[in-house]
Amino acid sequence: MNIVLAATHHDPDGRIYDQMARTFPPLRDLFGGIAILLTPTSALSTREWLARADIAFEVGSADQPIGHLHLGRWRRGAVQLALTAFPKAEWLLFCDLDRVLHWVECWPDELAATIQALPAADLTVLGRTPRALASHPRAQVATETVVNEFFARITGQAWDVMAAARGLSRRAAELIVTTSRDDSIGADCTWLQLAQQAGLKLVYRATEGLEFETLDRYLDEVAILGGAQAWLDRFDADPRNWLMRIDLARAVIVALSEVVK
């Protein structure tokens, strides 16, 4: 059973460079291959390290827009890269790199079990347990809960769909790269609709390891502020973070609404 990792990565300041170097050995043990699509503004040190480590990676074009509202384009590109780099891969785990690095470092047994379970369906929606979801800032929890509620009302599935991690059979992955035209973060839901319309089997799996990973980038700030909760409180005190999260939730709901018309 050949399962590969398809990941996106955006880290202009190299904040998780050390974590990447530290956790890639156990990560590589879990997969038959790793393919990473980097944004063009990602740190040069990251590119150099990946080249030395013989990881399949590609740097996206500088004319492609970067940002949360354009994540569908980058996530689809990562899946395409994995299919091309590993033509014998039977299954893919798509996950943003910062999330999977945290997962393998903090919940390695769960990640291993999750990977082994992927062949149970063409598309596995990997979500978060209530505890893992609650570990995120309130601005994120509140708005993503609205998206999950809307998804449940449209589909009848009470799933957490905003954790940006999917298990894909090769058939599902090829369907996404050839059929999806959703360049927005709405792809988190529209991929599922495409798979369902094609008659593919979908399942859901809640995880602890998809807890809030962003703190890994800001450990110095967390220490200065006195702990993780203080960092989260500061994040939630900034109205711009609420507005950003509201924009993301709206983009997903609009995209899903267009698909189900």
Report residue 68's pLDDT band, with 50, 70 and 90 as the boundaries.
confident
Residue with tokens 């059979």, as numbered in its chain: 169
Inter-residue contact 223 to 142 (CB < 8 Å): no
Q: For 191-208, how does the pLDDT look when each residue is reduced to its tens digit (9 = 90+)? A: 999 999 999 999 999 999
Look at 33 and 65; give whichever has higher pLDDT.
33
What's the angle, vertex CA 46, arms to CA 41 and CA 51, rounded to 5? 120
DSSP summary character for residue 1 = -
Question: Is a pLDDT exceeding 90 seen at residue 175?
Answer: yes
Max avg pLDDT among 69-73, 167-171, 187-191: 167-171
- The domains of the chain, with CATH numbers, are 3-259 (3.90.550.10)
Beta bridge partner(s), residue 9: 38
Whose tokens are 């006195």? That residue is 226
Q: What share of the chain is helix, strand, coil (3-state, %, to 5)?
A: 55, 15, 30
Provide the 8-state DSSP code for 211: S
CA dihedral 141, 164, 26, 2 (to 10 degrees): 150
List alpha helices for 93-227, DSSP H: 97-106, 108-117, 130-134, 138-155, 170-179, 187-197, 219-225
